[in-house]
Amino acid sequence: MLPDVRVSAVPSVEATTFENVYANGIRRQYLRGRAATISLDVVPDSWRAAPIILLAPLIGEVKPELAAGLSRSKSALLAATPQGWLRRTDSIGRVSPAPFKLAEQILPFLQAMILSYEDLVPSSDLAAASISSAAIEQAHASVSDWARTVPLLVVTRGAAGALLFQAEHQPRAFPGYPAREVDPTGAGDVFAGAFIVQLYRTGNPDDAMDFANRVAACSVEGPGMGSIPTYEEALARFADPIDHKEHFS
């Protein structure tokens, strides 16, 4: 556990546990345990006024009403990584994408949402030599629809960087930074954390995208949390930001 970090735990028989199997750059994920459900009444009162709040379900254990309940703090930046609301499992625990049935209960209360193609595209498409155009079109249709409600919607793309969707604007591509990949597990979560912290710090989505790409690139260069850089290290590692004026189509 990190020092000086407060933790409020809900009693549970088991922790949410995944097994990630990587082959040829493709991840297959299996659910091996699920923690107890987290509802609004177990969130400490002092946390409800936090300046930054991130809802990060892993497999549906975060109740959707937290979005409405925590949005009552008008000064808070409320964001979500919705992977856990976009996942289902089969009889052997293999995880696959599911429709976002809770969207109407969650999206209207968010200022930002961060997700990846792996959350939207079936593993059969991801495992192919190239993702089918139909899968891409369906994923973009979903994201573009959600972006009409969420002011800032980010789709991460691994080493390629990330896309920023803003309402009716064309999505913009922010290229990733070069890195020597050792362990990619958790890079999307690292990106999300860096993005919302920098967004809160500067109020500039472009700056937040670039900073998050820097931090995520550093984070994959070693196992666990040891390679996650400090703020100063992330800025010093890459002298200049990559040109991000490219529009995605």
CA angle 181, 138, 111 (to 5 degrees): 70
Q: Nearest CA to 241 among 221, 222, 219, 215?
A: 215
How many whole angstroms separate alpha carbon 67 and alpha carbon 226? 31
So where are the chain's domains? 17-237
List the pLDDT tens digit at each of the 249 positions of the chain: 567 788 888 899 999 999 988 777 677 889 999 999 999 999 998 888 899 999 999 999 999 999 999 987 666 899 999 999 999 999 999 988 899 999 999 999 999 999 987 788 765 545 544 556 677 788 888 999 999 999 999 999 888 899 999 987 789 999 999 888 888 888 899 999 999 999 999 999 999 999 999 999 999 888 888 888 888 888 888 766 665 555 454
Where helices occur in the chain by DSSP H, the ranges are 65-70, 103-106, 123-126, 133-146, 187-202, 205-219, 231-237
CATH entry 3.40.50.620 includes domain 17-237: no
| Cα 21 to Cα 12: distance, rounded to the nearest angstrom | 26
d(CA 165, CA 150): 9
Dist CA 195 CA 143 (whole Å): 18
Structure tokens at 165: 């969707």
pLDDT in tens, 13-43: 999 999 988 777 677 889 999 999 999 999 9
| Structure confidence by residue, pLDDT tens digits, 88-122 | 999 999 988 899 999 999 999 999 999 987 788 76
